[in-house]
Structure 1
Amino acid sequence: MRILCLLPLILPLTAFADCPPSPERSVRHAELMELVAEAPNEMVARGYTNELWGIWATAPDETAQEILDRGMNQRASYNFAGALKDFDTLIAYCPDYAEGYNQRAFVNFIRQDYKTALADLNRAVELTPDHIGAIVGRALALIELGQVREGQIALRRALLLNPWLPERNRVTPLPETEENDVETDL
């Protein structure tokens, strides 16, 4: 088991088998998306969201899972350089796995590199259009970059998916438009 954990560090990426495709959207994932959108309160929504995070953070195979877990542990230990290296490795290995991009974006957001974070968040949302965490991250990165209107639209999109997000208090009137024009922007 220990050798398996060290393989990503020892072998070049070309030694890995190809990353399998990410699983199709599961029935439970679809159910959770409906449940969180209709949750009666924040506590109930949080439970559904935690289960969604479990789905999003389940990598396509064991190798990818080990790299993801190691990167998340590095980030939790404030070893951002190590975390970025792991997420770079994960993305190179599994370029169609949204959570690799989302986690790398999270590290760059913490480092206040919003432009780099936004590029990864855009890719994560492209791969998993209902990834609430990536949509919220994208909204916050846009706002930090001064693209307030686009950020507010993205935040409203996330709130359509989960109206109980903690970031709901960040909603402000949209610049340069009437509030009732939002639906056409979503």
Structure 2
Amino acid sequence: MRILFAFFVSLLLSGAICLPARADDAVAPQAAPDAPPAAMTKQARLDQLFSDLKRERNERAAERIAGNIWNEWFQSGSASIDLMMQWSQKAIESQKFDVALDFLDQVVTLQPTYAEGWNRRATVHFMMKNYGKSMSDIDHTLQLEPRHFGALSGLAQIMALTGHKQSALEAWQKVLAIYPMLRSAQDQVATLSEELAGEGI
């Protein structure tokens, strides 16, 4: 289970999804070469990226597309929300989870339609082993963005940690339907399928 926890934390802390260091970077991030044109609406860019992610069969290329999706998700459209998200990230990195929650409570109150605020708070609750609260925030995230493979991964891990292997398998399968080349999800589907088949004998 430590591997699952490390994977979940790495999603949050990895360079692919970390918030930019400066507020002005958050407003206008550098687009990767394969990112959709900025002239498109955010929803259109996400739709294109998810379409590309589903079709891509090269793991590295899929990682770049996923990184572009995270960049889109992080754009709140509000400088103050972006700043609070940065402060929450720094608090998490310092393991000051209560401080991070204070910022994230403000984020979801001020902008309840910002899926990444809910997802970030779900992650902090997960790290604090508050699985019920984490699942509630994951539910909010998925209502706003059903394709959120990060939130689905978190759900899968909570299900596995609480002994609900079948539900964990189903959540990982949903991740793969969105992001087929995510190696950790492939590994978890294989492992859980094997374990469940063994238990069924």
Decide: shared fold, TM above 0.5: yes
Deviation string 1:19-77 (CA, Å, 9 cap, x unpaired) is xxxxx752211111011111122111100000100011111311111111111121122
Higher relative contact order (CA 8 A, sep 6+): 2
1:93 to partner: Cα distance: 0.8
Match of 2:71 in 1: 54
Distance 1:73 1:36 in 2: 29
1:94 corresponds to which of 111, 117, 129:
111
Match of 2:146 in 1: 129
Other structure's SS at 2:101 match: helix
Over the matched positions of the two proteins, sequence identity in percent amounts to 24
Output the aligned Cα RMSD.
Answer: 1.9
Deviation string 1:116-144 (CA, Å, 9 cap, x unpaired) is 11111111001111111111111111222
Q: Following superposition of structure 1 onto structure 2, how do residues 21-170 of structure 1 map, counting pairs within 5 Å?
A: 25-165=42-182, 166-170=184-188
**Conservation of the 8 A alpha-carbon contact between 2:42 and 2:72:** no
1:175 to partner: Cα distance: 4.6
Specify whether residues 25 and 175 from structure 1 end up closer, same or farther in structure 2 by C-alpha distance, changes over 3 A only.
farther
Distance 1:46 1:69 in 2: 23
Distance 2:100 2:59 in 1: 31
Distance 1:80 1:44 in 2: 33
Specify whether residues 62 and 28 from structure 1 end up closer, same or farther in structure 2 by C-alpha distance, changes over 3 A only.
same
Other structure's SS at 1:26 match: helix
Match of 1:179 in 2: none
The answer to which of 104-113 and 141-150 deviates more is 141-150
The runs of 4+ residues in structure 1 deviating greater than 4 Å are: none
Opposite residue 68 of structure 1, the aligned amino acid is: M
Instruction: Kindly tell me the number of residue pairs found equivalent between the two proteins.
Output: 154
Distance 1:160 1:167 in 2: 10
The answer to which of 58-67 and 99-108 deviates more is 58-67
Distance 2:63 2:119 in 1: 19
Other structure's SS at 2:141 match: helix
Other structure's SS at 2:129 match: coil
1:162 to partner: Cα distance: 0.5
| TM value normalised by structure 2 | 0.71
